[in-house]
Structure 1
């Protein structure tokens, strides 16, 4: 297949003509990065009470421990989003694994709270850098429509996330039974340190299978590299046409001012909407999903084993199932209907929890846990699955990194505030904190109903070329 321009490369990938096991493996490895992000973010969820006791922390300091990784990921997202568009997806993808391996081990052996906070902060930088490049790979190694489309593979980040959180609680449950009773206070150290193991596995796989995004390489004027990637990753005999130079003049590398482009032309409204629905999703998710151990153990007054088992079940059965349905429905139903339905169900679930308040009796406790499961299920197929579609698919290859990076930076700011204040709010307000959480689905519904914008199946690269011509 002769290629003459970046448009030819984009069309070849979007049409689904280019297929191959190598490309599918790249998608799997990208999801492995998402897995690590989720594991590292959730690995302290259950151990926070033990950390608070061991280091003698106040509620504010406990909030600082949980929020430190989000502060780091905020900076990492801004830096990573810019670097992804400036130096390429592959280089950033290969570089940030060191953050996961080293910082997981440092957290596990931390002897004071400031070492733990610093290590979690640096770990957050790696998390923040990883998400823009992972989502860019999911979008740019997938066809535009149909099975294995950009929409469904971007939505796949959600079940990967919930698989990681479920795996985290599975590790916690295993250690709970293995460790002697006197050493259960070390459980959080083993859980955090174990995160280095999957990070090493992903690092080895990346060295073996990863390749640059062919559309990004073509956008840089390097058609020869784009053709080589198509041959290696897709098994397509792509060659640069004889009458076309293999390496055209490279466009100017984007500076940090590239973020300003998000607020120009057709991208402005998409940026605002993606940030709004993202803030709603991250506030609700971090308050409920990250706060599950606090909600179940404190607000529902359950024991440690019930807390671990319930948190594991809610993530595996409800959230993961919803995420898998999100992949299935992405190409057929789109992101907007699923997001809207998801937020609506979450609104009902949180309202019921707020009305129940402090549960008394097995039936009421069971009803409360089912409402938490309903929230997680809706999260899986709705806002959890599709916030990345809104952050990435409405933007062309040339600015996809900064669009995801900016979106993630704002979301991490919201996540930081949620993780910092939720322990304080849950302590001060008790079950009345549900009325605060209710603001998340309300914000999401308002943002979606103001503008019905469907990113799934939209060709942003074609739109960019049309704007350049017109």
Structure 2
């Protein structure tokens, strides 16, 4: 089929699933609804980050309120990641079987219920349960959100798959910054005597954006046309192209006679495809990159208030302010750079540079230790900022490209879900062990965290695979 620009008045004939993906990949199909779907998918990423960050500051109050030791605190912080493991594996499987739209709507309900449940939790056990439920929603959301970003974007150029899958990184850090803004606002609004309730209001507020997304879904949200076509339903794919892109797509009379796909029960075969000879090395590399970036990120990002409080040795307001500034100045800026350079530089070089910078920053933090002089305090804060900048522009932005763009439409959800499930194992370990390790090793914990970027860097140097600009659907055919 032709990749020339089309208008709503010009009929565009589609004869196969490949025609649908070529129409989207070429950039010939453009529409405001498609852009809104991308924004809504990023809104889901925003919720993921907000919910994961919402207890980063309040864990000290939770420990005191529920009389928890280091292991108990680790269980509270890690429960959301445990839920995300199962949510990612099941969600990725369902995204390919049931479609992107249904799973996206379901996980928004998880966010609402779990946020409110956490906010009113009377004890640690109930809090752990609802944080687990929240994590299940987070795990389900990542595969569907990344599938939307990949399948409603062109292959190259502005608004490409590479830049939009990288866009999850600044969306993530904007959400973590927004979380600290909410915390700061509540800090001033609540009387001093009720500051121990900050974490409850912060977690509960996460239900608000989820409700907003649910309210606007009917007007803009739609199924992925690539997924519908891959299922053999060209009529539905044409309908989506007409509604979301404003393209007058029509199924040709001589279109491939392919009935809607009926898939065999049992998800093990779907996961086994990830280790087919064509995809095996990509799957393993994406897994190691994901583990490396998430272990380091979780230890630093969710331990950030504790680290900053230790460095500054001052009050809560300074800790909140420093956390917010580090997220806005270093992390958001790095994420925007990751989008900007996604097409020109590629995911592989950006991820290598990011891991290398993180390793240097963590070694420097370990050597600085607990500084007593102002100059060394500032140096330590700068190293934290450098770590977050490198994370946001390198592995944080692009590990999703390795997990999303290495697979065709038929197995993209499963690939992302598998990757996220394994990655969440690393996140769970870091969330659980960071309070324990930081208590036992103090600043020596940075030596342990430095192993994470070293592992990711090694995986990249073993195989140079560039997912940005790669058309996995064409390669499959």
Pairwise TM-score range, normalised by the shorter structure: over 0.9
Give the counterpart of 2:412 among 388, 392, 400.
400
Matched, 1:140 2:162: no
Quote how far apart the aligned CAs of 1:208 are: 2.0
SS in 1 for 2:354: helix
User: 1:333 and 2:345 equivalent?
Assistant: yes
Query: Who is 2:54 aligned against?
Result: 43
Q: Does 1:203 align with 2:214?
A: yes
Structure 1 residue aligned with 2:83: 72
Deviation at 1:76, TM superposition (A): 0.3
Give yes or no for the alignment of 1:279 onto 2:279: no
Q: Distance in 1 between matches of 2:282 and 2:370?
A: 40
Contact 1:86 1:254 in 2 (8 A): no
- Partner of residue 466 from structure 2, selected from 448, 454, 465: 454
Q: Does 1:223 align with 2:234?
A: yes
User: CA 1:245/1:464 → structure 2, altered by over 3 Å: closer, same or farther?
Assistant: closer
2:8 equivalent in structure 1: none
Q: How many residues align?
A: 465
Q: Output the CA distance in 2 between the equivalents of 1:41 and 1:106.
A: 15
Q: Deviations over 1:187-206 (max 9, x none)?
A: 00010011011111111122
SS of the residue 1:106 aligns to: helix
The answer to whether the Cα contact below 8 Å between 1:391 and 1:407 also exists between their aligned partners in 2 is yes
Query: Is 2:453 aligned against 1:436?
Result: no
Q: Does 1:379 align with 2:379?
A: no
Native 8 Å contact 2:87 2:138 kept in 1: yes
The alpha carbon displacement at 1:246 in A equals 7.4
CA distance in 1, matches of 2:328, 2:128: 29
Q: How big is each residue's C-alpha offset from its partner over 1:278-313, in whole Å with a ceiling of 9 and x where there is no partner?
A: 001001100111110111113553321111011111
* Higher mean displacement: 205-214 or 189-198: 205-214
Match of 2:314 in 1: 302
Q: How does 1:106-255 map to 2 (within 5 A)?
A: 106-244=117-255, 248-253=259-264, 255=266
Q: CA deviation at 1:318?
A: 0.5
Deviation of 1:245 (Å): 6.3
SS at match of 1:263: coil
Aligned: 1:357 with 2:354? no
Aligned to 1:94: 105
2:335 aligns to what? Answer: 323
User: Residue 248 of structure 2: SS of its match in structure 1?
Assistant: coil
Aligned to 1:14: 25
Q: State the distance in 2 between where 1:458 and 1:309 align.
A: 41
User: Residues 333-390 of structure 1: CA distance to partner in whole angstroms, max 9, x if unpaired?
Assistant: 1000000011111111111111100111222111111110011011111001001000
2:423 counterpart of 1:411: yes
Q: Distance in 2 between matches of 1:324 and 1:432?
A: 32
Q: Where does residue 26 of structure 1 map in the other structure?
A: 37
* Ranges in structure 2 where 5+ consecutive residues have no aligned partner: 1-11
The alignment partner of 2:274 has SS state of helix
Unaligned runs of 5+ in 1: 466-470
Query: Deviations 1:380-436 (Å, cap 9, x if unpaired)?
Result: 110010010000101000000010000000011110010000000001100100100
Residue in structure 2 matching 1:290, options 289, 302, 308? 302
Which residue matches 1:463?
475
2:65 aligned residue (25, 33, 54):
54
1:110-159 Cα shifts (integer Å, max 9, x gaps): 11110000000011111100110000000000000111000000000000
Deviation at residue 207 of structure 1 after TM alignment:
2.5
Where 1:238 maps in the other structure, the secondary structure is: strand
Asked if 2 retains the 8 angstrom alpha-carbon contact of 1:222 and 1:246, the reply is no
Equivalent pair of 1:300/1:358 in contact (CA under 8 Å): no
- Distance across 1 between alignment mates of 2:148 and 2:425: 24
Q: Are the equivalent residues in 2 in contact too, given 1:354–1:432 (CA < 8 A)?
A: yes
- Check conservation: 2:16, 2:256, Cα contact below 8 A: no
Report deviation, 1:251.
4.6
Quote the Cα distance in structure 2 between the aligned partners of 1:377 and 1:245.
48
**1:345 paired to 2:341:** no
SS of the aligned residue for 1:216 comes to: helix
2: CA distance, partners of 1:153 / 1:48: 33
For normalisation by structure 1, the TM-score amounts to 0.97
Does the 8 Å contact 2:311/2:377 carry over to 1?
no
- Residue 253 of structure 1, CA deviation: 4.9
1:224 Cα deviation from its structure 2 partner: 0.3
